[in-house]
Amino acid sequence: MKLCFVVHRYAPFPGGSEYYVQQMAEEALSRGHQVTVLAGEHKGDLNGVHVTSEAKVLFDTDLIVVHGGDVEVQNRVLLSARHLQDLGVPMLYMLIKPSESYVCIQALQDVKYIGCSAPEDWAHVEKWGFTNKAHKVIHGISPVDCIGVRGRFKDKYNIPKDKRMFLSCGGYWQNKKMIELANAFMAANLDDAVLVTTGYDNRFGIMPKKTDNVIPLMVEDPKDVKDAIADADCYIMNSDAEGFGLVILESMINETPWISRNIAGAKLLSKFGTVYETEDELVEILKHWRPSNTDAAFEYVTANHLIKNTVDDIENVLK
C-alpha cells in the first residue's frame, strides 16, 4: 500500500506532532508499505521515509493521512479532499484536536474517512452528523522511543535527589497552562517536592519563573524528555486542550503515576491516573498525593496504545 502522511513539520524538528507522525510513518514502512510524508518544514528523508514539500506526491498514493487541521499545510490538503477523491485518492482526516473552523468543518464533508481517538473526537463527528465516516484510529506510542532511563535526567540537570519530582513537559504554549500549574504547585506548599517543567520553545514568554521549588527548563532532546518522565515521581498534564495527550501514555509505559485535567486521553484513561477539573482541585490533590500502583497502567498501554495499534487502525480503514 502507498501511504502519504501530511503534517506541518517532520522530525527531527521537536514536537509531539512531528514525532507522532514519524512513528506512524516508520511503523508503516516496517510493514512493507511505501511511505511518503508531505511536510511544510523538514530536513529531508529520515530513516528510510521519503519526506517532501512537493504536493504532487498526493496524486500517487492509496491513502492520504492528514494529521489534524488549522495549520497551513494540512489545510491546503484538506481543501483538496473532494478533488482528490474524484481522482480516486481517498483521504483519512485524523481529527487530533477537533476544530470548528471553516476548513475543518468543510473537511468533515469532503474527506472519505475521519479518524477518531479521544472522546472529544467522537462527540465532534456526532455533533456534525458524520459518524458514518468515523473510524477508530487510536493514539499510540513507540516503546523503543518512549521508555526513558531512570536517574539520567536528574543527574544531567542537577535536580535535587532528596525531593520528589513532579514533572510537566510539552512546551511553553498557551494550552499547556504551565504558569497556572506552577502557581498551583506553589499553593500546595510541598516542602519535600519540586516541580520541573520542560519545553523547546518559549517564543510567547510563558515559561514559569524559577523558584526554590519550581525548575523551568528548555529541553530539545526527546531522549531527555523520556528520561525525565522515567525519573519523575508523578507527571502532571495541566493543559486545557490536547489532541490526546501522548505524555499520559508515555507516563504509563514508564510506570510513572500521573495527574491530569479531565480532557482528551486522560478522560479515556482516567482509571489509571488521577483527573481534575480545576486548578483548585489540583492543589488539593497535590497536598494529599501518594503514588499509586502502575502495573495495570503499563499492561494496558502496552496492549492497546502502541504505535502498531495506530497503524493497525489505519490499515483497517481501507479494509
* Cell numbers found for residue 31: 510493514
Residue 229 confidence (pLDDT): 98
Residue 170 confidence (pLDDT): 85
Residue 70 confidence (pLDDT): 96
What DSSP element (H or E) covers 125? Answer: helix 119-128
Residue 137, amino acid: V
Residues with Cβ < 8 Å from 274, sequence gap 6 or more?
A: 257, 258, 259, 260, 285, 289, 292
Hey, what domains does the chain have and what are their CATH numbers? 2-137 (3.40.50.2000), 144-304 (3.40.50.2000)
- How far is 275 from 236, CA to CA, in rounded Å? 10
Q: Look up the pTM and report it.
A: 0.94
Residue 171 confidence (pLDDT): 82
Report the candidate in 74, 292, 279 with the shortest Cα–Cα distance to residue 181: 279
Residue 220 confidence (pLDDT): 87
pLDDT tens for the chain, 319 residues: list them: 999 999 999 999 988 899 999 999 999 999 999 999 999 999 999 999 999 999 999 999 999 999 999 999 999 999 999 999 999 999 999 999 999 999 999 999 999 999 999 999 999 999 999 999 999 999 999 999 999 999 999 999 999 999 999 999 988 999 999 999 999 999 999 999 999 999 999 999 999 999 999 999 999 899 999 999 999 999 999 999 999 999 999 999 999 999 999 999 999 999 999 999 999 999 999 999 998 899 999 999 999 999 999 999 999 999 8
| Burial of 8 from C-beta contacts in 10 A (0-12 / 13-18 / 19+) | buried
Residue 319 confidence (pLDDT): 86
Per-residue DSSP letter, 46: B
User: Please, what is the Cα angle at 205 between 247 and 275, to 5 degrees?
Assistant: 30
- How far is 112 from 188, CA to CA, in rounded Å? 49
